[in-house]
Amino acid sequence: MITSDDELDAKLRQLFADDRLGGLQPKEGAGETIVAGARRRRNRRKTMTAAGGVAMASVLVVGGVTFAKVQERDTQAAMSTAASQAAASGAAPESTGGGGTALPAPPGQTSQSNSAPLTTSTTQKTTPTTAAKPDGPTKIMTGSLLGHSGLGNLTLGMTEAQLTAAGIIFAKESGTTCAFGKVTKVTGQVGDIRIYLSETAGVTAILPASSHTPEGVGTGSTVEDVGTIYKVPTNGQLPSVNLGTTSYEFALSNSKVKSVVLKANNRQGCG
């Protein structure tokens, strides 16, 4: 292999002087021209080789920088994903010794950290207790609502003609001038209702089988509750409760209200 321009020049001159050329002699200056051309081609190859090396080196440098950036971006993306998963699960990301955030360990490997081991807390169930009954009387709100002047469309003082006009049917069971009997078709009626009907005073008393007053006294109320609600002394018994022109009277059974009766204060001896 020819390693220098001088060696190439010597080889070419030796070739031109070779006897095997049959005495042929190149033109004057031809040798110099050939040697110069050979030198140019040799220099061109060196230049191309050098340029190729520089280009290759540039490619390697650029590729290395690009790979480093891609690797850094992938690392940051992985760290961000790990932090997001830890935040979504409510757990803190694992901490590395250098203050950074460690990526989750691959499957089959155990992630080591300096954090304390997780502990499982056991919450004891408590059995709810029934609230104590508040102080005060128990109010009854079952049965027909027996107001201070009547029940539904049935009111004290109504005549038999007025009962019929209101659509109430009266079935007399006893009496003449002071009749006693059962009424039906009364609005708000619950169970049987009986009345006293005077020829001169109209309806003087209403006796529902099951009822309660607007204040909450009714079938099942205790004597104490009635005395507390209406502020009357009881002594084991219940007096009538005066409402002005009407009154409540209570029928008792085993110290509890069995029924409530609404009466007109001016009954004229009926009921």
SS3 breakdown of the chain: % helix, strand, coil, rounded to 5? 35, 20, 45
C-alpha to C-alpha distance for 166 and 160, rounded to whole angstroms: 10
Calculate the average pLDDT of the chain. Answer: 73
- The pLDDT, as a whole number, for residue 218 is 94
Report, as an integer, the average pLDDT of 263-268.
94
Task: Decide: helix, strand or coil at residue 173.
Answer: strand
Contact 93, 82 (CB under 8 A): yes
- To which residue do tokens 């955030």 refer? 101
In this structure, the number of other CB atoms found within 10 A of the CB of residue 221 comes to 25
**pLDDT digit string, tens, across residues 184-212:** 999 999 999 999 999 999 999 999 999 99
Of the pLDDT bands very low, low, confident and very high (cuts 50, 70, 90), residue 217 is very high
